[in-house]
């Protein structure tokens, strides 16, 4: 498979891990997370931990995170790249967050004091319940009935990337710039003028496909194929859903026209339905 882009696609499994999941590029992950975290939990250092989490008994299910890391002061960070809508994705997020909570329990006596846990979901889709708002970033915490934070050590952060529509000229904050580069990276041919900070120089260097060795290139090509196959399936499903919706609307219009006493040929011309479909409606 021929790769024509200059820079990798961060929504592929290999691309995401290449940018954020290895030691040489750890500074990229730290800078990105600091745009999302509250001021009192800005981080200077991270350690990558195993991404496979196993429950406390053989009967517990496993979870495999895209990225899992810890800070020197004990905070846990799960970073997930979600490419397609999934039933119960929010449930899965909460389930995943329980693993770094449970692993903090030592053997023997314990006072139950926990370190903060953050889960970051970078979503290539929009939650159905959020489709009518424009908010890109959702920070979710446990709150009481008058909207006070009940427990500040657990936060779920979701980025609905399709909602980010700023152009390069509209970029103002580091947060804007990170979302812009994540969304547009594979379509860029040069580093944009607005992204001249050192961290982005590092990112574009790491993302340049021409610098991959043979093994990396093969892994990336496989990852791109999986991504494209998934995208084709989703696009086809969306097109079919739109077609079904349009057909249903055409039948509804035709039924109203027929009820108004208009002739079949007029109804057919104005709805795109066949003569047989019009007669069936009668």
Q: Read off the pLDDT of residues 146-160 as tens digits, 9 standing for 90 and up.
A: 999 999 999 999 999
- Per-residue pLDDT tens for 96-143? 999 999 999 888 888 999 999 999 999 999 998 888 899 999 999 999
Length, in residues, of the chain: 282
Alpha carbon 25 to chain centroid, angstroms: 20
What does R_g of the chain's alpha carbons equal in angstroms? 24
Whether residue 117 sits in one domain with residue 252 = no
| Average of per-residue pLDDT across 77-91 | 88
Mean pLDDT for the stretch of residues 263-279:
78
Number of domains in the chain: 2
The pLDDT assigned to 57 comes to 60
Average pLDDT of the residues in 266-282: 78
If asked whether residues 140 and 215 sit together in one domain, one would say yes
Between strands 67-70 and 62-64, the pairing is unpaired
**Mean pLDDT of the chain, nearest integer:** 89
Q: Strands 62-64, 117-123: parallel, antiparallel or unpaired by DSSP?
A: unpaired
What number is the average pLDDT over the span 202-208?
96
Last residue of a domain, one of 236, 255, 271: 236
Domain of residue 127 covers: 13-236
Which single residue is written with the structure tokens 């529509």?
A: 165
Does pLDDT of 14 surpass 60?
A: yes
Band of residue 80 on the pLDDT scale cut at 50, 70, 90:
very high
Residue 8 resides in a domain = no
Same domain? 175 vs 232 = yes
Q: Residue for token digits 């319940």? A: 129
Task: Please say if the pLDDT value at position 176 is more than 70.
Answer: yes
pLDDT for position 56 = 64
CB 182 within 8 A of CB 19: no
In a domain, 5, yes or no: no
Q: 1 lies in a domain?
A: no
Query: How confident is the model at residue 262, as a pLDDT?
Result: 73
CA end-to-end span of the chain: 53
How does pLDDT run across 181-201, given as a tens digit for each residue?
999 999 999 999 999 999 999
Last residue of a domain, which of 236, 253, 272?
236
Residue 150 lies in a domain: yes
> Percentage of the chain surpassing pLDDT 90?
62
Do 138 and 271 fall into the same domain? no
The answer as to whether 71 is a domain residue is yes
User: What is the per-residue pLDDT for 232?
Assistant: 80
Residue 61, pLDDT > 70, answer no
Q: Output the pLDDT for position 20.
A: 96
Pair of tokens at residue 91: 């449930």
* In a shared domain, residues 71 and 199: yes
List CB contacts of 166: < 8 A, sequence separation 6 or more. Answer: 176, 179, 180
Residues 51 and 184 in one domain: yes
Percent of the chain clearing pLDDT 70 (strictly above)? 95
pLDDT digits (tens, 9 = 90+) for 225-269: 988 888 787 777 777 767 777 778 878 888 877 787 777 877 777
Place of tokens 């952060």: 157
pLDDT classification of 59: cutoffs 50, 70, 90? low
The predicted structure's pLDDT at residue 60: 62
Name the more confident of 239 and 42.
42
Angle between helical axes of 198-207 and 174-184 (0-180°, round to 10): 10
Q: Which of 52, 119, 126, 138 is nearest to 86 (CA)?
A: 126
Looking at the fold, whether 196 and 268 belong to one and the same domain comes out as no
User: Looking at the structure, do residues 252 and 124 belong to the same domain, yes or no?
Assistant: no
Say whether pLDDT at 66 is over 80. yes
pTM: 0.81
Whether residue 101 is found in the same domain as residue 144: yes
Whether 223 shows a pLDDT value over 70: the answer reads yes
DSSP string, the chain: -----SB--TTSHHHHHHHHSSGGGHHHHHHHHHHHS-GGG--S--EE--SEEE-SSTTSPEEE-SEEEE-TT--EEEEEEE-S--TTHHHHHHHHHHHHHHTTPPSS--------EEEEEEESS--GGGTT----EEEEEEE-TTS-EEEEEEEEEEEEGGG----GGG--SHHHHHHHHHHHGGG-SS--TT--SHHHHHHHHHHBGGG--HHHHHHHHHHHHHHHHHHHHHHHHHHHHHHHHHHHHHHHHHHHHHHTT--HHHHHHHH---HHHHHHH-
My answer on whether 183 and 268 are in the same domain is no
Same domain (yes/no): 104, 232: yes
Same domain, 191 and 53: yes
């Amino acid at each position: 498979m021929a790769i024509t882009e200059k820079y990798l696609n961060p929504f592929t499994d290999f691309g995401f891990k290449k940018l954020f999941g290895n030691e040489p590029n750890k500074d990229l992950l730290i800078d990105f997370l600091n745009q999302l975290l509250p001021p009192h939990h800005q981080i200077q250092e991270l350690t990558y931990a195993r991404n496979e989490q196993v429950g406390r008994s053989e009967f517990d299910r496993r979870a495999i995170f895209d990225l899992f890391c810890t800070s020197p002061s004990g905070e846990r960070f799960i970073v997930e790249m979600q490419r397609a809508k999934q039933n119960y994705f929010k449930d899965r997020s909460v389930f995943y967050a329980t693993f770094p909570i449970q692993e903090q329990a030592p053997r023997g006596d314990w006072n139950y004091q926990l370190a903060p846990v953050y889960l970051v979901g970078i979503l290539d889709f929009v939650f159905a319940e959020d489709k009518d708002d424009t908010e890109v970033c959702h920070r979710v915490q446990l709150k009481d009935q008058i909207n006070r934070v009940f427990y500040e050590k657990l936060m779920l952060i979701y980025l609905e990337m399709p909602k980010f529509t700023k152009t390069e000229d509209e970029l103002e904050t580091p947060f804007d710039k990170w979302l812009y580069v994540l969304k547009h990276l594979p379509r860029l041919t040069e580093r944009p003028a607005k992204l001249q900070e050192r961290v982005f120089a590092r990112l574009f260097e790491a993302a340049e496909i021409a610098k991959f060795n043979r093994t990396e290139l093969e892994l990336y090509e496989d990852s791109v194929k999986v991504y494209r196959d998934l995208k084709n399936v989703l696009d086809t499903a969306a097109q079919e859903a739109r077609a079904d919706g349009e057909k249903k609307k055409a039948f509804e219009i035709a039924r109203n026209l027929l009820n108004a006493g208009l002739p079949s040929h007029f109804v057919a011309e104005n709805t795109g339905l066949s003569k047989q479909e019009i007669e069936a409606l009668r």
